[in-house]
Structure 1
């Protein structure tokens, strides 16, 4: 995409037509500054993080895409990551389970877009027995047992 074709995003918190969801703003990632898009809705059902008792390399607190690649590569052992990675919207199939940093970003800028009475899994592992979650009512971030079923909200990103 050249300079004349630059996309003009909507205001943070608004749906970005044809981009797959709600615009969350710009964040720094390994590949550069990216627009972040949160799915409009949760993946149906509740999902466990998975792989209880196993320490995996999904430890980034900022890069959910990298974490999700690790989790999905564990051959069906991470239902929340699999559910997020399988999500599609507006023709985009590059969604992933957000890191705890990405969920915290959503809590800061898009809290009204999430269920306040439930917990959301992040892709960031806390320990062999727990992973980080976000509770949108009070903004709590903490580790929770990987076998517990919680909500999943997919996210995607692309270079600005």
Structure 2
């Protein structure tokens, strides 16, 4: 029985001295650092406060860590509600059905050009220079109920997660229920943001 010949390996080093590579690498590194809540490699990793406490410079109340498609993220809930708003588009199936990622839902809802008041209100919120807030998914509101219920009114909050053509998920902080409600009903809106750990 014949054996395949062994293939020799060679160690080599590639150097890219081109000055054109440097700005691209610098821009990519800067984007990664900003996503992780830092602006330079020398800046220490952010140390969060206790869950439920205000995080200075981060736009609100620290909600702890959650797993998202991009990895483990710090979750920041706005310190205040931004009024009562309807989910909108009652009677229409929309693509915003994700129960984990409110940022993805909010982007889909806002793309429907003014038909989703709650998503528009949440995405328009800014605090501490951060303008990356969005309408939380049902799972994110449930996370808020589990870990920092004292930061919310004992009332119903609208999520960015559609339940059906006529209903959206809402979280009742007074009773601890996650349930569907008519999309035309106005509920409290609490913006949220996140960034990589």
Q: TM-score, normalised by structure 2?
A: 0.79
Q: Which residue of 2 aligns with 1:95?
A: 133
Q: Do the aligned residues in 1 keep the contact of 2:55 with 2:62 (CA within 8 Å)?
A: yes
C-alpha separation between the residues in 2 aligned to 1:143 and 1:3?
A: 47
Size of the aligned set, in residue pairs, is 158
Moved more, 148-157 or 1-10: 1-10
- Structure 1 unaligned spans of 5+: none
Q: Which has the higher strand share?
A: 1
Indicate the structure (1 or 2) with the bigger Cα radius of gyration: 2
Q: Which residue of 2 aligns with 1:27?
A: 66
- Structure 2 unaligned spans of 5+: 1-32, 34-40
Which structure has the higher relative contact order (CA within 8 Å, separation 6+)?
1
Give structure 1 regions of 4+ aligned residues with deviation exceeding 6 angstroms: none
C-alpha separation between the residues in 2 aligned to 1:3 and 1:47?
A: 43
C-alpha separation between the residues in 2 aligned to 1:4 and 1:96?
A: 27
Q: Which residue of 2 aligns with 1:61?
A: 99
Q: Which residue of 1 aligns with 2:46?
A: 7
C-alpha separation between the residues in 2 aligned to 1:119 and 1:8?
A: 32
